[in-house]
Amino acid sequence: MSSALSLAMPRLTIDTKKELKIGFLAPLSGKLKAWAEPGYHGCVIWKDRVNANGGVRVGNWRYLVDIVAFDTEFKPEIALKGARKLVLEDGVRLLTMLGGNDFTRPVRDFVNQQRMLVTTLLPSDLSPDAPTLIAPSEVHPIYNVTGVDWLKRHQPQIKTVAMCAQDDALGLPSIATYRAAFEAAGIELVAEHLFAAETSDFSHIVEKLMEQSPDLLCWDTAYEPFVHALTEEAFKRGFKGWLLSCTCDDYRELVTKTSMEFMGRFVFQFPDFDDPKLNDPRVNFVEPNSFYNEFCSRFPGTWSAVSWEYASSLELWKSAVERACTFEPLTVLAMMKLGGEGKHAFGDAIWWGRELFGIDNALVGDWPVVTIQDGRARIVEFGSITKWWSAHSALLIKHMRELHLMWDQREELLANGR
């Protein structure tokens, strides 16, 4: 009887000779470090937890995971060098990226040639010409509409807004999204300013934004140093209205440098993962409170908007690999998108994006709206991106086209060498 059972039940083996390598290709230095290094740390925690549980199961084998990082410095030529090293020399099975300046046409052509599955935090990278590029974790900047919608319903006295952002691949799509969201909410955009990524003095910018006495100041998707400098400048100038930003990393420092009352009027999109609302049954991130506590213990003072995002993408990929019983990219991708639905960190979601990106490679569902309450970032609601889109898609497409950001417009610029 035991012999029959042993023949019927396959033996699981941990392959200790070959590690399962995953490539982390992102800016680990420079101004974008806060949107990459904490994400790498999150991947390390994910890796350690997976390996402690026996690794990744593929058929009858289990593989231990290794995360191989490469610092792109957010420079296209270095990102291409890194992609080639990770794929051709290190033999990674997946590339996880921030995207933007790192996912240029040469990088895209290379991963297409290698049939490499790639995750990005910037769905604005998506296009039909990058079929193996997916956005399974973050849907930047589309989720920003949820913060505006919340303000419209809960702070109806807000009638005007002034906005600024750095002039780059992160700032511009976010500008288009906020323009659409403000228009849908009936909030008048009275001032807008794009600044160079090299800017260090924000006094003149904030002065100009405040000249029209707006009810709301919006920092768009500004980098952490910019958000801090802009917020501190607004506080010094006595701004009494609300503030809105995609992120507010290291917000505790801003509370210290401004005031609890001032930061209590700050709305953004990323919670701390000890938030009680993340224990809601809809949430698909495994043990978010425990993950947050371990992160803060191992990497104190570095939690940011992206600390959990890369790890979330890896967990979705791992689940698909184990169900598909293979690392083969197209098979894993098909398994991830099976039925057109997926398990996003914040709940059930759909694979979406054809109208905006030309391909349904973004996993989209609800997204948290966050305010600072008693000095802590706390979720006030989970806003529906798809509900907003169903009512206002034409507005967003209009503003994306005005800034030449639609996928077909970007492809035309690339074809013309621009």
The reply to whether omega before 288 is within 30° of 0 (cis) is no
Across 306-361, the runs of DSSP E, i.e. the strands, are 341-344, 347-352
401: helix, strand or coil: helix
- Residue recorded with tokens 């991947």: 43
Burial class (CB in 10 A: 0-12, 13-18, 19+), 411: middle
Q: What is the pLDDT of residue 3?
A: 40
Residue 347 near residue 365 (C-beta atoms within 8 A): yes
C-alpha separations of 328 from 48, 314, 317, 322, 325 in Å: 23, 15, 12, 11, 9
CATH of domain 2-140+280-365: 3.40.50.2300
For the chain, give every residue range classified as CATH 3.40.50.2300: 2-140+280-365, 144-272+369-415
- Residue recorded with tokens 């994306």: 400
Q: What is the pLDDT of residue 415?
A: 61
pTM: 0.91
Asked if residue 7 has pLDDT above 90, the reply is no
For the stretch 197-224, pLDDT in tens is 999 999 999 999 999 999 999 999 999 9
State the pLDDT confidence band at 414, using cuts at 50, 70 and 90. Answer: low
Which residue type, as a one-letter code, is found at position 205?
Answer: I
Residue 186 near residue 160 (C-beta atoms within 8 A): no
Residue 308 near residue 270 (C-beta atoms within 8 A): no
Share of the chain above pLDDT 90, in %: 88
For the stretch 134-169, pLDDT in tens is 999 999 999 999 999 999 999 999 999 999 999 998
Q: What is the mean pLDDT of residues 397-402?
A: 96
Across 100-254, the runs of DSSP E, i.e. the strands, are 118-119, 133-134, 160-166, 188-195, 216-218, 242-244
Q: Would you state the CATH architecture of domain 144-272+369-415?
A: 3-Layer(aba) Sandwich (3.40)
When the pLDDT of each residue in the chain is averaged and rounded to a whole number, the result is: 93
State the pLDDT confidence band at 409, using cuts at 50, 70 and 90. Answer: confident
Q: What is the pLDDT of residue 41?
A: 98
